[in-house]
Amino acid sequence: MAPFRTFLMQTASIVSILSTSCASAALGPTVPYGRPAVVSASNGTLDLFVIAGSGDGYVTSTGSDPAIQSTQFSAWRSLPFLDVPSEANLTAIVDDSKIERVFVVASNGTIHTLSFRHSDHTIGDSWRPIGGLETRPGSTIAAIMFDKKVQLVAVGIDGHVAATSLTVANDTSISEAPTWSTIGDVKTTNIATTGISVTNDGRVHAFVTGNDGLTYAAERNQTSDIWSAWERIAAGQAAPGAAISAVSRSVGQLDVWAVGLNDVVWTAAKHPGDTSWRGWWEMPGFTTLPGIEVGAISRQVDTLDVFCPDSTALRIYRNWWPGTGINGWFGAWKHSNSGLSLLGTSVVLVSKAPGTVDAIVTGTDGNLFHETSLSIDGGFCGWWLVGEKPLTATCDGAGTGTSNGGGQGGGGSPSSGGEGSPSGTASPLVGDFGGHAALKSRYIAPSNSLLNQRTKGSRFRRMQRSTTNRPTQIIKMDIRFLDDSARSDPLYVNLEYLGEGGQAKVYKVKRVNDRLIMACKEIIVTLDATELHLIKRELESWAMINRKKYIAEYYDASWGPATNSIRLYMPLYKGGDLHKVLETALMEKQPLHPIVTSLCANEIAQGVQECHERDIIHRDLKPENVLLSSPFKLNTQLWKAAKGEFLTSTEKRELAAFLRARTTGIPWCHVADFGMAKITSKLLGNSHHGTRATFGQMGTPGFIAPETIDLTGTNAAKFTSKSDVYGLGCLIYCLCEGSPPFPHRVEPSKRVYKPISAQYPQQFRSLVERCVSLSPASRPGIRELTSDLKRLHKQILAENHWVDEFLSSNSALPLSPSSQSRPTRSRSPDTMMSLNNQLLEACKEGDAESARAALSAGASTSAVGSEQFYRYSPLHYAAKGGFVNVMEVILEYGVDINMKTPTLGGTALHIAVIGGHYDAVDYLISMNAFVNAKTKQHMTPIWGAVLPEGGKFDEVMLLKLLSRGADINAPNNKGWTILHGLAVEKDEDYVERMRVFLRGRK
């Protein structure tokens, strides 16, 4: 009975882990989340729905269990499966039967709905499709109850706004084949967030920001299904597709909010009887993200609460309209309980009873947080991690707030028909939101800006500093906060100063926990508004495309108030930047060989395409902003080989290794430095509409497109994806000719193009010339450009016939005219076996030079060892010993980094993890090793960190893999997760360590 008893005890420990750390039948939601949906079906209750980073849906509730505090959320419960994008946005409403309806756009672009009944926690059997409209996967749907039907408003894939009404058939189903009608002719981005509101006078209203940046409203009444034409909301302009939040605080009254072009919140209003909109009025005090949804709600008649995150300090700010008889807004935005929000997330609000407000937001660590207010005068209490017991002493109060600009609003009360201006002036500012003039006076206070407003001990900032010896995991560019007195980052050790540029210095550093060698970009912050905006933009943009093949990676970021600097941590790219390659070629008075030029152009274009497909324009493409994974000093050797000149054995070996590595698909060029980048999903919408040059001239002279230069002072400069095509064309031209195509001091209309020299193919030269056309319409699109550059690179390789011979000959014969006609000498089986054995032994011993010599002499990278069981290849032996230098040599010869052993099916990453080789694991992952590759028993590399050889629990390795995307819930061929394996394989002490570890990750 003893073994059975032990198993039960271990299983109980696992249950404890699950209930304590994740509160779900599995491990629960994986952070971060998309936009959550929160509703209240009955007085005092809340239901919170999310789509987690894994793409799975979950729900949690308050006020349903008498054993749990009324403000504490219950354990997470899984929703039925639906193929949706990870972090998809949700919307939810409560119908007249008290059934909650959740809406999401699935991966196929179809809207789906799911029912939930709070009274008995009944979840619908499945998500039901709502046909008739194709939308962008994961986008946000607007929904509200109107005339006993569910009114939906969404943006179609073509950018038109459409609406439909859904009849609730019974308490668990809803009509699934509605008729959609297009509202007017305004077009917007196909991921725009539409707004919706009911004014309780028989009308429902829809809101949208068009591609022209203008804000619009439309309405219909209960007697007709026909929507009115779009009406422009006052005189103001926002970013195309910017979210408009709308609230009705009394019958016939509408208040709306949006973020203007100056990244400040603005508001407008329409009173009963008005024939046109009033506003817009600026609500200054902090800057937020372009186009973000402003959280707004009316908790009781004639009151308003507004929430919005700051883009620099990532704080959450709150303002409110106290009600009739109060002359204007509260006036000063105040910190809402010192909470910090994840960059790019909005605050979702709900009222669970008259006079109350609950707020939900995603924190900097990706977890959901909650705060609550029981009265307009009582302030907010929180923030609490959803699922944890709330604290009682963390209320912000409604007294004097932390003013960040603006005085007591005046200009009349809502009841008198004179909407008070939140900026403290009676008249609204007409024109663009903030416009050019507002940018000059943007409020940036050194004492309150960026990250100086840090509150120690804030539960909302869960990663402010590390108290354990574990590496920090940065999923979406969270910023760690160092102690006020810290002049260095305790998680890293500076090893070497590498250089500087602008306000940034670059260092070679070592991460303390796992000894990973990295690069640190330290930016000294002067608290200038433009500089803060660029830093914010770099973090935002890089986070959206981090870990793409031809994009330079970022791992971590920290803010040090003592040094007034932000430190950005990234891999150490040993090849430096592309500008150094160009400088070397100029010093050697030898142009870059067409093979190298076309290779770089091809890979950079693929990186730029990754940006554009995620709605990001780089805006500063130049050789200095392209990092190389390995050095290049072989330009002269390439020209010698092409001309048939003699090469030494060392030159042949180095050149063969370079060509093999560059033909295996392993990325060499990495697009970096997104300080100038602009997120266009909220600013562009499509390639026909540009974003204004917010801070004057952007980019680097010689590489910036002519349409982005504002020579008139009218702020008419426009950035589009074609601006990046121009920059890329200038970059490629620079690689060919040593300098950009046009002197930057010459006006665009007077520029004369000098063709690229004839040593480059004609089609290649013509393509570059198209890229740098003065007219954006004459330039190719990025997809066309990438396709053409791929084709031309293959063509250039094929035209250099010696490349094929060089790659096919393991011995890399001399390429002199006398030796090219010499037949290749075949090798005997005994010779091959001897060379293979030399290679295998070199890999076992970590002898990189001997491994290179064996490979150069003809040894096979597919050779396997003589052990009957493991049958390792050279790459696997190198991984077993943790020999990064040997793996680098082997991969130069075109080996598949994810090749598996013939017996167990393990990859090099599996083997390096089991051996506890941190540097080898970092290197393999950086070279695109699959972090979730499976053996024949369906075990992923993370199993090796939990159950390694010798039985030692490797917490550092576990964290390393989790931070790179390892799935801790991946089952093996028996259906066991790692936790199951622990319960079966390990004793109680071991399980306790895992429980402590999971608690720490929580």
Structure confidence at residue 921 (pLDDT): 92
In a domain, 552, yes or no: yes
What residues form DSSP beta bridges with 553?
none
Higher-confidence position of 384 and 828:
384
DSSP per-residue string spanning 901-912: -TTT---HHHHH
Residues 635 and 778 in one domain: yes
Q: What does the alpha-carbon distance between residue 752 and residue 729 come to, in Å, rounded to a whole number? A: 15
| Burial class of 283 by CB neighbour count within 10 A (0 to 12, 13 to 18, 19+) | buried
CATH code of the domain containing 911: 1.25.40.20
In a domain, 812, yes or no: no
Render pLDDT for 63-112 as a digit per residue (tens, 0 to 9).
Answer: 766 655 666 888 889 999 998 887 788 999 998 888 999 999 988 889 99
Last residue of a domain, one of 462, 493, 521: 462
The contacts of residue 245 (CB under 8 Å, 6+ apart) are 195, 256, 257, 258, 293, 294, 295, 296
Average pLDDT of the residues in 766-775: 94
| Burial class of 798 by CB neighbour count within 10 A (0 to 12, 13 to 18, 19+) | exposed
Structure confidence at residue 309 (pLDDT): 85
Higher-confidence position of 139 and 869:
139
Chain-centre distance for alpha carbon 483: 27
Residues 917 and 777 in one domain: no
Number of domains in the chain: 5
Q: What does the alpha-carbon distance between residue 622 and residue 731 come to, in Å, rounded to a whole number? A: 5
Residues 753 and 622 in one domain: yes
Higher-confidence position of 510 and 414:
510
Residues 598 and 535 in one domain: no
Last residue of a domain, one of 139, 163, 191: 191
Residues 537 and 584 in one domain: no
Q: What does the alpha-carbon distance between residue 332 and residue 339 come to, in Å, rounded to a whole number? A: 17
493, 510 Cβ separation under 8 angstroms: yes
Structure confidence at residue 44 (pLDDT): 85
Structure confidence at residue 837 (pLDDT): 86
Q: What does the alpha-carbon distance between residue 583 and residue 451 come to, in Å, rounded to a whole number? A: 39
| Burial class of 787 by CB neighbour count within 10 A (0 to 12, 13 to 18, 19+) | middle
Q: How far is residue 107 from each of residues 88, 560, 922, measured CA to CA in Å?
A: 9, 41, 32
Average pLDDT of the residues in 861-875: 79
The rounded mean pLDDT for the chain is 75
Residues 976 and 930 in one domain: yes
473, 466 Cβ separation under 8 angstroms: no
Structure confidence at residue 511 (pLDDT): 84
What residues form DSSP beta bridges with 100?
94, 116
Q: What does the alpha-carbon distance between residue 738 and residue 229 come to, in Å, rounded to a whole number? A: 56
| Burial class of 25 by CB neighbour count within 10 A (0 to 12, 13 to 18, 19+) | exposed
Give the range among 73-82, 280-289, 632-641, 985-994 with minimum mean pLDDT.
985-994
CATH code of the domain containing 149: 2.120.10.10
Structure confidence at residue 332 (pLDDT): 63
- What value does the CA radius of gyration of the chain take, rounded to a whole number of Å? 31
Q: What percent of the chain has pLDDT over 90?
A: 27
Structure confidence at residue 254 (pLDDT): 94
State the DSSP H helix or E strand holding residue 813, giving kind and residue range, or none if neither.
none
Structure confidence at residue 165 (pLDDT): 92
Residues 154 and 187 in one domain: yes
CATH code of the domain containing 560: 3.30.200.20
CATH code of the domain containing 590: 1.10.510.10
In a domain, 585, yes or no: yes
Higher-confidence position of 893 and 180:
180
| Burial class of 236 by CB neighbour count within 10 A (0 to 12, 13 to 18, 19+) | buried
Q: What does the alpha-carbon distance between residue 168 and residue 53 come to, in Å, rounded to a whole number? A: 31
In a domain, 779, yes or no: yes
In a domain, 652, yes or no: yes
| Bridge pairing between strands 480-481 and 556-560 | parallel
Q: What pTM, to 2 d.p., does this model score?
A: 0.46
Render pLDDT for 638-684 as a digit per residue (tens, 0 to 9).
Answer: 999 988 888 887 788 778 778 877 776 678 899 988 655 554 433 33
Pull the structure tokens for residue 374.
């029981």
Render pLDDT for 503-536 as a digit per residue (tens, 0 to 9).
Answer: 678 999 988 876 678 899 888 765 444 555 556 5
Q: What does the alpha-carbon distance between residue 680 and residue 255 come to, in Å, rounded to a whole number? A: 27
Structure confidence at residue 669 (pLDDT): 93
Collapsing DSSP to helix, strand or coil, 723 comes out as helix
Collapsing DSSP to helix, strand or coil, 837 comes out as helix
Range of the domain at 399: 256-462
Render pLDDT for 435-476 as a digit per residue (tens, 0 to 9).
Answer: 222 222 222 222 222 223 222 222 222 222 222 222 222 234
The contacts of residue 177 (CB under 8 Å, 6+ apart) are 131, 132
Higher-confidence position of 824 and 904:
904
Residues 857 and 770 in one domain: no
Residues 856 and 782 in one domain: no
Q: What does the alpha-carbon distance between residue 109 and residue 191 come to, in Å, rounded to a whole number? A: 11
184, 151 Cβ separation under 8 angstroms: no
Any idea what DSSP says for residue 997? H
Structure confidence at residue 498 (pLDDT): 87
Last residue of a domain, one of 134, 158, 191: 191
Average pLDDT of the residues in 964-980: 82
Helix ranges (DSSP H) in 521-662? 529-545, 578-587, 594-613, 635-643, 649-662
Give the range among 68-77, 135-144, 723-732 with minimum mean pLDDT.
68-77
Structure confidence at residue 862 (pLDDT): 84
Residues 546 and 598 in one domain: no
Question: In the predicted model, is pLDDT for residue 594 greater than 70?
Answer: yes
484-498: burial string, b at 16+ Cβ within 10 Å, e else: eeeeebebbeeeeee
Structure confidence at residue 704 (pLDDT): 87
Question: In the predicted model, is pLDDT for residue 207 greater than 50?
Answer: yes
DSSP per-residue string spanning 594-613: HHHHHHHHHHHHHHHHHHHH
Structure confidence at residue 764 (pLDDT): 96
**CB atoms < 10 A from the CB of 696, how many?**
13
Residues 148 and 297 in one domain: no
Give the range among 601-610, 632-641, 651-660 with minimum mean pLDDT.
651-660
In a domain, 289, yes or no: yes
In a domain, 112, yes or no: yes
In a domain, 237, yes or no: no
Residues 547 and 614 in one domain: no
294, 245 Cβ separation under 8 angstroms: yes
Render pLDDT for 531-558 as a digit per residue (tens, 0 to 9).
Answer: 555 565 556 666 666 667 788 887 788 8
